[in-house]
Amino acid sequence: MDLWLKEKQIENAVMTYKIKETLHIEKTKYQDLAILDTYEFGRMLVLDGIVQTTIKDEFVYHEMITHIPLFTHNNPKKVLVVGGGDGGAIREILKHPSVEKVVLCEIDERVVDLSLKYLPEISSALNDPRCEVFIGDGIKYVIDHKGEFDVIIVDSTDPFGAAEGLFNVNFYNSLYECLTEDGIFVAQTETPIYLPQVVKKVFHDIKTAFPITRMFMAAIPTYPGVYWSFTIGSKKYDPLTIDENKIKDIDTKYYHKDLHKACFVLPKYIKNLIG
Ligand code: SAM
């Protein structure tokens, strides 16, 4: 029988994936969660019908959301991930020898449990002794931990439901307070093709909270529009002025030192959008 997942993140366009097997499906306290095995992308985590990560293309997102801020900071020791319960960002962060501790603050413990069970290639670093998993709301966690983190990575779902409060000025001001004096943060900031007004608003909200704001892009096949935006808010370090020759060669498939600045070169329509 032909089984297909039809992802309806965007109102008038869908992405579809042929399903080999449904490995797990449940309603958690926060969202509908499914782990599916697909013909094209392998196993995938789906929340509220929206693809979060897949075995085939997860490396693009996880490498870009982590190595850009971590190689921009001079000496990142303590890192916070808000969301990111699949553990992919943690795996990449722990490739940086300077990192002594990383906290994962994920609201839904079932995402963590089921990623550990069904997506070990992505999640296994959650068991590393340098990683602390905290189950709770990232908004409160950030308010309660002022001045603690060198780098914060907001690896969240889209701006609806539990993640809605992770996309506004109040949250960006709290992130500023939660960072050390030379801290830097990054967030996944959606698709400029389908949600230009969201991308524009988020960029400007981050700009009101941080002296240095930069947007970079990466091509992620399973996210709507493929060409996905990330935005950096930084107190001191500018990703565009660092010396790329100091970037160490770590084990990656997408990120490398020549891409560090190149990914900030934006097409005209995005430059015009964010002004
Ligand atoms: N890479 C993904 C994407 O862009 O589709 C995001 C992956 S990760 C699974 C997103 C996680 O953010 C989810 O597991 C969700 O439970 C978590 N999340 C949503 N709102 C949150 C909040 N307020 N605090 C902490 N975690 C949150």
229 and 101 together in one domain: yes
Q: Are residues 129 and 15 in the same domain?
A: no
For ligand 1, atom 20: residue with the closest CA: 163
16 CA distance to ligand 1 centroid (A)? 22
Nearest CA to ligand 1 atom 21: 163
| Ligand 1 atom 2, closest CA | 52
Q: Is the pLDDT of residue 70 over 90?
A: yes
Same domain for 43 and 117: no
- Same domain? 29 vs 80: no
pLDDT tens per residue, range 200-216: 999 999 999 999 999 99
| 190 and 228 assigned to the same domain | yes
**Residue to mutate (ligand 1; options 106, 189, 191, 199; most atoms within 8 A of CB):** 106
Same domain flag for 72 and 46: no
CATH number of residue 28's parent domain: 2.30.140.10
Instruction: Look up the domain containing 101 and give its range.
Output: 58-274
pTM of the predicted model as reported, rounded to 2 decimal places: 0.97
Distance from Cα 243 to the centre of ligand 1, integer Å = 32
Confidence of residue 1 (pLDDT cuts 50, 70, 90): confident
Q: Report the nearest-CA residue for atom 3 of ligand 1.
A: 52
- Test site for ligand 1: of 135, 141, 157, most ligand atoms within 8 A of the Cβ: 157
Claim to verify: residue 16 and residue 64 sit in the same structural domain: no
Give tens-digit pLDDT for 190-204.
999 999 999 999 999
Let me know whether 157 and 190 are in one domain. Answer: yes
Same domain, 161 and 25: no
Q: Are residues 139 and 215 in the same domain?
A: yes
* 222 in Cβ contact with 214 (< 8 Å): no
User: pLDDT tens digit string along 100-146?
Assistant: 999 999 999 999 999 999 999 999 999 999 999 999 999 999 999 99
Which of 155, 158, 182, 238 is catalytic? The answer is 155
Are 47 and 181 part of one and the same domain?
Answer: no
Please classify residue 160 by burial: count the beta carbons closer than 10 Å to its beta carbon, then call 0-12 exposed, 13-18 middle and 19+ buried.
exposed
Domain count, the chain: 2
Among candidate residues 236, 93, 238, 216, the one with its CA nearest the CA of residue 153? 93
Helix (H) or strand (E) holding 217: strand 212-219
Dist CA 91 CA 233 (whole Å): 22
CATH code at position 101: 3.40.50.150
Examine the domain organization and report whether 158 and 220 are in the same domain. Answer: yes
